[in-house]
């Protein structure tokens, strides 16, 4: 079962964000049962609240036998024409995510982008 859980974990994308715009994001720690975990970034413009992204992602992960906890949130400004992503702000419900972790994840996914972060802003 552990091997299957590990495989399920490895199939979870590190980053899933909208292709353009300014939107809320959450940083989640995804875990296989009693196993290792990894941090993932989810950001979507359809979400009115950070909790909306968390709830949908948790539901998707549960179907694969994985759990998750929210490490915090913020906002992303994604400008594909300029190849720039800026990470900032916080979630009222979940607190501020570690934007430096989010930035590293985004840099790995978008190696040709300039990815910046700041603790200012909402």
Measure the CA–CA gap between 23 and 6, rounded to whole angstroms: 30
Token pair recorded at residue 16: 């899933």
Of the residues 44, 50, 78, 86, only one is catalytic, namely: 50
Range name among 19-23, 43-47, 117-121 with the lowest pLDDT average: 117-121
CATH architecture type of domain 1-118: 3-Layer(bba) Sandwich (3.50)
Number of DSSP helices (H) and strands (E) in the chain, helices first = 3, 6
Q: Please say if 50 is a catalytic residue.
A: yes
The domain ranges of the chain are 1-118
Bigger pLDDT: 35 vs 18 = 18
pTM of the model: 0.93
The answer to whether the annotation marks 109 as part of a ligand binding site is no
The pLDDT of residue 95 is 97
Does residue 73 sit in helix, strand or coil? strand
């Amino acid at each position: 079962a552990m091997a299957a859980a590990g495989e399920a974990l490895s199939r979870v994308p590190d980053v899933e964000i909208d292709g353009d715009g300014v939107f809320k994001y959450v940083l989640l720690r995804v875990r296989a049962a009693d196993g290792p975990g990894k941090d993932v970034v989810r950001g979507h413009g359809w979400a009115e609240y950070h909790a909306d992204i968390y709830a949908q992602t948790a539901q998707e992960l549960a179907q694969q036998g994985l759990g998750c906890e929210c490490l915090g949130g913020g906002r992303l400004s994604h400008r594909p024409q300029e190849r720039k992503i800026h990470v900032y702000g916080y979630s009222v419900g979940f607190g501020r995510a570690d934007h430096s972790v989010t930035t590293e994840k985004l840099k790995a996914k978008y190696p040709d982008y300039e990815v910046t972060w700041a603790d200012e802003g909402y």
